Amino acid sequence: MLRVSLAALALATPLLSAAAPAQQAAQPTGQPAAGCPKPQPGRFAVMGTGSRGQGPATTPSAHLLEERWLPDGSLRGTVAERQGRRERSGSYTGSFTLTASCVVQLERRLPWGVERTEVVVDGRGRPLYSISRSPGAVISSRWLPMAKGSCSVGQLDGLVLSHQTGLSWQGKAWVPNAVVQREQWRGGSVEGIALMSTNGMGETVRYTGSLQLDPGSCWGSLQERDSLGVTYRYRALVVSGHKQQGARGYFYLQRDPDDLTVGWLVRD
């Protein structure tokens, strides 16, 4: 929440960029080994953080995706992304293929170009983690399964907790921050407390807010206001679980240009 929640890349991106390969890594070929689990079709929520570009042009980046893997090896999804102080979003299609090394290769045809990603899956073929293979990108992501159907704000009712690190834009540079949150949800409204540190300066604030979901969707707009009178805007993706148990939590991506924030907030 608030001024927080991408990895503290501001200090690390030069090192990350230096470690990035100059060219796309060689891809394994051939038929999948006999022990490789077949990729499991399904619906997934994805949260990624990292950077794009190299050297002085390196820019911190974060994204949220809702992606569906179909039985025929095709995929489709929706993405919301931040690159530095800019944001973009859209729908996309693509494909996934299992390689000889049991890694799943994705090709996403996004509105702004084609991106390639490699995914590791568990023993049942469900995606858990991925890394971008697009030139200039140093971005890793975590994946969570989602139940079928649309979401409701009431699925978040109860206690939600999070621990996050991120970046804030100060003095023409990104500086690190961190936050621990505890919040209560009821019917789409939230009240919480955030314990924060931005560039080494500590702060504790209370906040309230509300979530409005898009019709027939698990995406929505979250707006919060803290006890200092500051307002924050997020794009949120509710990670739906079994109907009887409610949501597992939600991902969010901050829309305020001076705070590069992406977070996973877990429902207790």
Of 124, 146, 168, the one marking the end of a domain is 146
| Residues 168, 123 share a domain | no
Q: Which residues contact 78 (CB under 8 A, 6 or more apart)?
A: 65, 66, 89, 90, 91, 92, 219
Q: State whether 123 and 203 are in the same domain.
A: no
Q: Are 249 and 266 in contact (CB under 8 A)?
A: yes
Residue % of the chain over a pLDDT of 70: 87
Residue 264, token pair as written in the block: 């996973």
Residue 3, domain member (yes or no): no
Is the model's pLDDT at 24 over the cut of 90? no
Dmax (CA) of the chain: 59
C-alpha distances in angstroms, 73 versus 68, 111, 112, 168, 203?
10, 20, 22, 39, 48
Residue that finishes a domain, picked among 89, 118, 146: 146
Residue percentage of the chain with pLDDT more than 90? 79
Co-location of 117 and 241 in the same domain:
no
pLDDT at 90: 98
126/189 same-domain check: no
pLDDT of residue 8: 41
- CATH number for the domain harbouring residue 179: 2.40.128
Tell me which of 94 and 9 has the higher pLDDT. 94
Q: Are residues 142 and 157 in the same domain?
A: no
Q: Is residue 200 part of a domain?
A: yes
Report the pLDDT value the prediction gives residue 26, as an integer from 0 to 100: 42
Q: How confident is the model at residue 180 (pLDDT cuts 50, 70, 90)?
A: very high
Nearest 5°: the CA angle 203, 8, 116 is: 140
Q: Supply the pLDDT for residue 17.
A: 38
Residue 244: domain span: 153-267
| Backbone dihedral region for residue 200 (phi beyond 0: left; psi -120 to 50: alpha; all else: beta) | left
Tell me, yes or no, whether 4 lies in a domain.
Answer: no
And the tokens for 74?
A: 């095709």
166 and 120, same domain (yes or no)? no
Same domain for 184 and 231?
yes
Q: Which of 130, 146, 162 is the last residue of a domain?
A: 146
> Is 251 part of any domain?
yes
* Within a domain: 86: yes
The Cα 176–Cα 8 span in angstroms is 5
pLDDT computed for residue 95 by the predictor: 98
- 2 lies in a domain? no
pLDDT for 1 = 53
pLDDT of residue 2: 52
Q: How many domains are contained in the chain?
A: 2
Question: In this structure, are residues 185 and 209 in contact, taking their beta carbons and an 8 Å threshold?
Answer: no
- Are residues 21 and 108 both part of a single domain? yes
**What does the mean pLDDT of the chain come to?**
89
Average pLDDT of the segment spanning 195-205: 93
Q: What sign does the CA torsion over 3, 154, 141, 59 have?
A: negative
Query: Is the pLDDT reported for residue 181 higher than 50?
Result: yes
| Residue 1 domain flag | no
Q: Supply the pLDDT for residue 30.
A: 59
Judged against a pLDDT cut of 80, whether residue 152 lies above it is answered with: yes
Whether residue 192 is contained in a domain is answered as yes
- pTM (2 decimals)? 0.87
Nearest CA to 152 among 212, 102, 97, 204? Answer: 212
Closest residue by Cα to residue 146 from 71, 43, 265: 43
Domain co-membership, 160 together with 140: no
| Same domain (yes/no): 123, 218 | no
